[in-house]
A = this chain, B = another copy of it.
Amino acid sequence: MILSQMNKEELIGFKNETEALYNDFKAQGLSLNMSRGNPCTEQLELSMDMLDVFDDGDFLSRNGIDVRSYGLLDGIPEAKALFSDMIGVEDDEVIIFGNSSLNAMYWAVQTAYNKGVLGEKPWSKCEEVKFLCPVPGYDRHFKVTEFFGIKMINIPMTPDGPDMDMVEKLVSEDDSIKGIWCVPQYSNPEGISYSDETVRRFAVLKPKAKDFRIFWDNAYCIHHLTDDPKTIINILDEAKKAGNENIVYIFGSTSKVTFPGAGVAVMGASRENVEALKKYLGISIISYDKMNQLRHVKFFGTFENMCRHMKKHMEIIAPKFDAVCEILDKELTPLGIGSWKKPEGGYFISFNTPVGCAKRIVQLCRDAGVTLTDAGATFPYGIDPEDKNIRLAPTYPPIDELKKAMELFVICVKLAAAEKLLSEK
């Protein structure tokens, strides 16, 4: 029976039953974590052979530089070749960073903030700077812009990506809007892949601010959960066709390909952007860890092998996504509570509770020993205007624990929804 169609008496009965189940769970003293998109140990084991690649004693990059030493600010050539394929740019349109694409994004914002973009006024000298933030989105993106005092504007997501009518209108009117955060493939947390039309509209965007940049965080570009994945079209190629290639900064990493703590991060952009950025980068560092770059290159060899490697990840984590969705379907669909969509890739399931229930559910779960991403985290400033979005991260826990955590989760959803409905009666 649909929860919202229950009368008060039925609801009270339902709530009491659910509360009893909740208390049983609480008594079990669980301690489970579904808060972040962490690969599980089995996934880490997939890349162990990468640690032996230097058994050959060969430390020279293709251009003769010893990777153990200083030099090659923007990366070794073979890493540029490999990772430019991953993010869809040419070898001279890429910079290889350290282990963190978040750090590369932070640096790109910081550089624009303190020094400006291609000769434009530094953002710090502008009266106001704003970023568009498709919501729900990635909390760490929002923290970066918040750190620099950049005002964030929520943009609703549609099944095709951000609301492009709104994006186009805003950027064409307001030159204080300097950027937008995008996770174009398998968006965090909803798993939405931008449609061809959305990507094309981004590629030809003509913002009033010449120093507007799309921060295209293609974090999950090869992180598919189906055998026949639909990939997004190449934004830089599209932008080039329109003579608009400076519009986008592309980011990616192997954090969820090899090791989250010891992967390789990359940034792609037009040659003009890359040349300008490298001048600033050379102030902050001599070179990133080129041994780790070569480790990745020797381990994978080709981009095709990287994609094959990702299938092994899929085999490990796809069943976890299935398990989560099965429990949601079984327990919540009959009651008509909440909405979600099984993603075809990425690391998250975005769950929408009835309006005003997300915080309560996260709190209920925490009190019973299951940590979820904070409610509100998927919105700028941590404020979900409808208090309804919860990001579920199913990859890390072993499947038994995951099922346990999800059993608790659906109980908490039911309980909070019943409480809410009762409060409105």
Contacts and interface: CB of A to CB of B under 8 A. Distances in A.
A77 interface: no
A114 interface: yes
Contacts of A44: 59, 66, 68-69
Contact of A68 (B70, B100, B260): B260
Given A69-B39, A283-B106, A289 B99 contact: yes
Interface stretch (A143-151, A200-208, A366-374, A377-385): A143-151
Contacts of A36: 70
Contacts of A110: 110, 114
A261 interface: yes
Contact of A147 (B102, B115, B287, B289): B115
A285 B124 contact: no
A259 B291 contact: yes
Given A69-B259, A262-B68, A99 B102 contact: no
A51 B143 CA distance: 36
Nearest to A148: B114
Contacts of A148: 114
B292 A106 contact: no
Contacts of A143: 283
B69 A260 contact: yes
Copies of this chain:
2
Contacts of A39: 69
Nearest to A287: B261
Contact of A285 (B106, B114, B289, B290): B106
Interface string A304-325: 0000000000000000000000
A286 B69 contact: no
A297 interface: no
A54 B51 CA distance: 8
A289 B100 CA distance: 9
A412 B34 CA distance: 67
Given A114-B113, A144-B283, A289-B262, A41 B54 contact: no
Interface in A127-155: 140, 143-144, 147-148
B261 A71 contact: yes
Contact of A66 (B41, B51, B99, B114): B41
A22 interface: no
Interface string A339-353: 000000000000000
Contacts of A107: 284
A98 interface: yes
A244 interface: no
A307 to B, nearest CB: 21
Contacts of A98: 98-99, 288-289
A140 B148 CA distance: 25
Given A114-B113, A259-B69, A102 B38 contact: no
A5 interface: no
B68 A259 contact: yes
A287 B147 CA distance: 18
Contact of A291 (B66, B69, B70, B262): B262
Interface string A59-80: 1000000111111000000000
A38 B107 CA distance: 26
A103 interface: yes
Nearest to A103: B285
A102 B284 contact: yes
**8 A-B pairs with least C-beta separation:** A262-B291, A106-B284, A68-B259, A103-B285, A70-B260, A147-B283, A44-B68, A261-B290
9 contacts: A44-B59, A70-B261, A99-B289, A100-B286, A100-B288, A102-B285, A110-B114, A261-B290, A262-B289
Given A44-B66, A140-B286, A147-B280, 15 more contacts: A36-B70, A39-B69, A51-B51, A68-B259, A69-B260, A71-B261, A99-B288, A100-B285, A100-B286, A103-B284, A103-B285, A106-B284, A110-B114, A260-B286, A262-B289
